[in-house]
Structure 1
Amino acid sequence: MKRNTPWTEKEIQAAVTAYFELLNSQQKFEPTNKSAIYRKLSSIHTARSTKAFELKFQNISAVLYEEKLPYADGLRPMGNYQAALKIAVLDYLKRTKLKEQPTIDILVDKLKRLHYRDFLPVHGKGTGRYGLSLEHYLSIPQNSSKEADFMGIELKTKHGKSLQTLFSRVPSRYLACKDKNQMLDKFGYFDKKRERQALYTSFNNTSDSLGFYLSAQKEKIVVNKKKIKVLEYDDGVLADALLSKHNETAYVSVSTQRLKNGKTGCRFDQLLYCKTPSLFRFMHMAKDGNVYLDFTLSEKEGRVKDHGFLWRVPQDAIGDLYLSTQLIDLH
């Protein structure tokens, strides 16, 4: 049989059964060996390679992920699967009467298994490395869209005492300039070390060293530089940013430790589960100095780089933003 022929019902059933046996073992914290499973399946169904079974397992993960059901650790969902596979998976679920779980419980179970593995190598670099590591170990695709990360839940990592980024949004309108390019030229400074025009700063309702500060007013937040109104955000823009990505958010606390190989390891210890952010609370937090805006602009050789207008809050103030919060220990 050629390897590019459609999978037979027998091959599909074998893959589905083996997948759920693997998932069941993982959920019981039992040791598993995916490679050995693929080899065994391939030795029985010789028309399919071990790699083919691995990819089929990822297809099964995709079916389960789309249905918001538990899926196996270490098997990133991969779409573009045949219809017969989805039918087989759903039929298996019906026959075995697998209990449905709230999405947050699926996430917590996965995080508890990750915590059980202790400190894991950090993936990625820069300020987003712990978030990338979390997505890697949860086996979910990296997400830069407006959609939430995990089955409708937005994921954020917390480490140290740095400010927590909520979202990035362009201003509703510029007031003292035409656009971000002109703002950089007018209000920026020359970075001698990197030989470029730059505007990097973080400020709340108190003036920073450059004179920028936030002013929460009725139905908008204004960015001022001393007595000059630079730009503003309508409350509708802020509400959309909060609700589109933060209607349901899990803030995962990360601790770090040096591994034996000298590299940094991370462990996921605690989860703050938050639901229903309040624009009213956000505006009051801004008035109280618990909301920050970061500018991240630079220009060199006529090209302006923008890493986003980042809205951030202190980590100990995150819960104040939401109508419902729950602290979950992952030990």
Structure 2
Amino acid sequence: MLTSADIDLSLIAKKLLEKNLQFSFLVPTETALKKSIIDAHDSFRAFLKQQDIHDYKDQQKGTKHKKIVSASILSNGEIAESKISLYRPETKDGDPRLWVYGLSKYASPNNVIAVIYHKNNLFVLNCSEYNNFEKHLNSGLFDTDDHKTISPIANELLAKLRNISSKGFIKTITPGDTGIGMTLESLLEIQANSSREPDYKGIELKSKRTRSRGNRAREQLFSKVPIWKSSPISKAVELIKLRGYIDKDGSEALRHTISADKPNSLGLYLEVDQENDILKQMHYDSETEKSTYDVCWKLSELKQALLKKHKETFWVYARGRGKGANEEFHYIEVTHTQKPAIEKFDILLETGLLTVDYTMHIKENGQVRDHGYLFKIKPEAFSILFPAPILYSLES
């Protein structure tokens, strides 16, 4: 349903999430508007359930069991009172349906309609009418406050990083991509180990080279292996052989970014099934126009991995110069985050702002070599997942 949207969903989602809003999207078709019937897709049903508004699973079929909830349609700077009907018809297995009273006057086919829950009220906003969308979003109706404090441990770590920065460029202790993090940990006298616990007294450290401002790459959040025993494809080697390609070294490989907003060049995409607590990696065959389910993760386990990894994090950036064993780093900046907004995880996945990278190939001995199943956040969505990040310069 959402794939027919006439405006970039990730753009709209980013602006709504920056306001710390709870919402779900509807994209009504021409038929839906004519018949005053919209299918209540999985994400919308989960949204209603999460806000304790309605649970379709508990609803019986038929019009006499229809539930009516109050809502307000936002249009041209005005608020029009409306209602939303939630029901399951006697026909078609009682597939969940809804209708926003009067929606046809405010929407055209394939418009993106956001249903927003804010301060115990439902609001309906046409996001495809962009000027209208921005006017209401910035009217003050949805403003919230979000303040963070810095702990003594964070202050202690910040002071140490500023001392390290004052030394200027420091030679890496090992060549390659891992050098920047290992060098910093060595300077902080953190012992190298394989533990997944936070690096510095409960604070996670993530280090990377700087890029030009406004051109930072996706941030890696964590790695999580699919649940092979619950997936149609039960091994990494099978996934590579079925969906992979031959790389420049002649190896069978699968290195690709996968998102939910559209299939990538290999036909791979993500599908969020909130109702069953599953994130699926799917494959779309353009010739048959059919999709196949490959592997899955539990959404709840992904969220727990994020909470455990990034309860509090220092994202440290450094300038680099030189190459290989002679590379040097000057640590210059920190972004400090606390308590990721876990309730936004699903919508970030759905709109393509949070992605998964496959990083694997088959070695000559037939074994799979991988660098993890990497969950990454796009730079424009970083402050959405981590509200009110604090930026520190280490050079001052």
What TM-score comes out, normalization by structure 2 length? Answer: 0.54
Runs of 4+ in 1 over 4 A off after TM superposition: none
Give the Cα separation in 2 of the matches to 1:285 and 1:158.
Answer: 23
Deviations 1:136-188 (Å, cap 9, x if unpaired)?
22121224322001110000113233322111111134533122122122222
* Cα contact 2:198–2:205 (8 A) shared by 1: yes
Distance verdict in 2 for CA 1:157–1:315, change over 3 Å: farther
* Cα contact 2:272–2:349 (8 A) shared by 1: yes
Does 1:220 find its partner at 2:270? Answer: no
Does 1:285 find its partner at 2:340? Answer: no
Does 1:121 find its partner at 2:171? Answer: yes
Distance verdict in 2 for CA 1:318–1:128, change over 3 Å: farther
Of 144, 159, 181, the match for 1:109: 159
Secondary structure of the residue aligned to 1:269 is: strand
Give the Cα separation in 1 of the matches to 2:389 and 2:161.
Answer: 18
Deviations 1:70-121 (Å, cap 9, x if unpaired)?
xxxxxxxxxxxxxxxxxxxxxxxxxxxxxxx711011100000011111111
The one-letter code of the counterpart of 1:130 is I
What TM-score comes out, normalization by structure 1 length? Answer: 0.64
Secondary structure of the residue aligned to 2:300 is: helix
Please report the RMSD computed on the Cα atoms of aligned residues, expressed in angstroms. Answer: 2.2
Give the Cα separation in 2 of the matches to 1:207 and 1:129.
Answer: 34
Of 228, 231, 235, the match for 1:175: 231
Give the Cα separation in 2 of the matches to 1:179 and 1:245.
Answer: 26
Unaligned ranges ≥5, structure 1:
1-100
Secondary structure of the residue aligned to 1:240 is: helix
The one-letter code of the counterpart of 1:148 is P
Query: Paired residue for 1:185?
Result: 241
What count of residue pairs does the alignment treat as equivalent?
229
Give the Cα separation in 1 of the matches to 2:194 and 2:164.
Answer: 23
Give the Cα separation in 1 of the matches to 2:217 and 2:242.
Answer: 29
Query: Paired residue for 2:257?
Result: 202
Give the Cα separation in 1 of the matches to 2:194 and 2:388.
Answer: 26
Q: Which has the higher helix share?
A: 1
Query: Paired residue for 2:330?
Result: 267
Secondary structure of the residue aligned to 2:339 is: strand
Distance verdict in 2 for CA 1:314–1:125, change over 3 Å: farther
Instruction: Pick which of 291-300 and 168-177 moved more.
Output: 168-177
Q: How does 1:4-43 map to 2 (within 5 A)?
A: none
Unaligned ranges ≥5, structure 2:
1-150, 285-290
Please state how far the C-alpha of 1:292 moved relative to its aligned partner: 1.6
Identity of aligned residues (%): 27
* Cα contact 2:307–2:342 (8 A) shared by 1: no
Of 347, 371, 374, the match for 1:310: 374
Please state how far the C-alpha of 1:258 moved relative to its aligned partner: 4.2
Of 129, 139, 143, the match for 2:189: 139
